[in-house]
Amino acid sequence: MKIALQSVILFFAFFPFYLGSKETKREITICHGDLPTSMADFVSDPEFVKMHPRPLRIIHEGPGEEIKFDTPDGKMASGYFIKAKTDSDKWLFVYQEWWGLNDHIRTEADKFYKDLHGDVNVLALDMYDGKVASDPSEAGKLMQGADQARLQSIINGGYEFAGDNAKVASVGWCFGGGLSLKSALAGGQQNVGSVMYYGMPVQDVEQLKTLSSDVLGLFATEQWISKEVIEEFASNMKKADKKLTYKIFPGVHGFANPSNPNYDAENTKVAYGMALGYLMSKFNG
């Protein structure tokens, strides 16, 4: 069990990317520190699992479609895609929680699409290749079992699907909050912004120096992605000469998920307003 846990921690520890040509592989750097470096560090903590109660059912009916796209590893990936009303190089990548690409995430993608006035292509990437959990223990296993190289390839495939001229911002929650930042690192100059809801940040200053945008962090009051973790992230962003705007909300982990029994409508409204305003400034600036 100890060996397996160590493997998991290494498995999900920072996997930032750089954007090169389609033939170029994006490198992965694994770093270690005294603070936790991955959401997978917490999966064996019963208190963390309690913060992810079985989600309430959401029935999704939206304007998008389920698509498939090529990935550099020779496989296909899937996603929920809403095409902009007119041809546009503006893209928003949406990253799932540890549950997978479920109807809650599709609904969030629809909401951003609508509130961005249909001017932005929105792609919710399926990071589990079709697997979705509704039980916390299943979700933890899916997150731990996800293949690092495959996660990288899905993100790379998303950029290739968007095209070389795409300007891409990203948003994600929990597991997807960390992926949103890593997606921004992957995008090189194509990245225009990253919103991360209570996700584990990359702390390596040299990696953060490669960011082509600022970051908006929307965090919760919690012991896992803690104030200490967030303040270290802020310090490292400053050392990297990158801008971080963040707020720690007086709400629990997962507060912005309407399918979560711990949903906090007021905090969600404020956080969403910050996220939407940030994204609008990136796409309309």
Residue 90 to residues 70, 112, 192: CA-CA distances in angstroms? 20, 13, 10
Q: Is the pLDDT of residue 118 over 60?
A: yes
Count of CB atoms situated within 10 Å of the CB of 26? 20
For residue 235, give both structure tokens. 């310090």
Structural domain includes residue 33: no
Query: pLDDT value at position 54?
Result: 77
Task: Report the domain count for the chain.
Answer: 1
pTM: 0.85
Structure confidence by residue, pLDDT tens digits, 258-282: 988 889 999 999 999 999 999 999 9
Are the CB atoms for 10 and 25 separated by under 8 Å? no
Structure confidence by residue, pLDDT tens digits, 58-111: 889 899 999 999 999 999 999 999 999 999 999 999 999 999 999 999 999 999
Compare 133 and 3 and report the one with higher pLDDT. Answer: 133
Q: What is the DSSP letter of 189?
A: G
Nearest to 155 by CA among 117, 194, 116: 194
Q: Is the pLDDT of residue 5 over 90?
A: no
Q: Which positions ≥6 away from 211 have C-beta within 8 Å?
A: 184, 185, 191, 194, 240, 242
Query: pLDDT value at position 29?
Result: 30
pLDDT bucket at 43, cuts 50 / 70 / 90 = low
Q: Is 82 helix (H, G, I), strand (E, B) or coil?
A: strand
Residue 230 to residues 61, 85, 175: CA-CA distances in angstroms? 36, 38, 15
Are the CB atoms for 234 and 208 separated by under 8 Å? no
Q: Is the pLDDT of residue 217 over 60?
A: yes
Structural domain includes residue 248: yes
Are the CB atoms for 128 and 52 separated by under 8 Å? no
Q: Is the pLDDT of residue 6 over 60?
A: no
Structural domain includes residue 166: yes
Compare 60 and 247 and report the one with higher pLDDT. Answer: 247
Structure confidence by residue, pLDDT tens digits, 159-206: 999 999 999 999 999 999 999 999 999 999 999 999 999 999 999 999
Structural domain includes residue 56: no
Which of 35-44, 63-72, 215-224 is predicted with the least confidence, judged by mean pLDDT?
35-44
Structural domain includes residue 38: no
Query: pLDDT value at position 20?
Result: 36
In the chain, the percentage of residues whose pLDDT exceeds 70 is 82
What mean pLDDT value characterizes the chain? 86
Q: What is the largest CA-CA distance in the chain?
A: 53
For residue 232, give both structure tokens. 């270290």
| 11 membership: H or E segment, kind and range | helix 2-12
Query: pLDDT value at position 59?
Result: 83
Place of tokens 């592989």: 25
What is the rounded CA–CA span in Å between residue 181 and residue 176? 9
Structural domain includes residue 54: no
Q: How many CA atoms lie within 13 A of 202 on its CB side?
A: 29
Query: pLDDT value at position 165?
Result: 97
Q: Which positions ≥6 away from 159 have C-beta within 8 Å?
A: 19, 166, 168, 186, 187, 190
| Domain ranges, residue 92 | 64-284
What is the rounded CA–CA span in Å between residue 102 and residue 174? 14
Structural domain includes residue 185: yes
Q: What CATH number has the domain bearing residue 254?
A: 3.40.50.1820
Structural domain includes residue 221: yes
In the chain, the percentage of residues whose pLDDT exceeds 90 is 71
pLDDT bucket at 50, cuts 50 / 70 / 90 = low
Compute, in degrees rounded to 10, the torsion defined by CA atoms 104, 107, 18, 216.
-90
First to last CA, the chain: 50
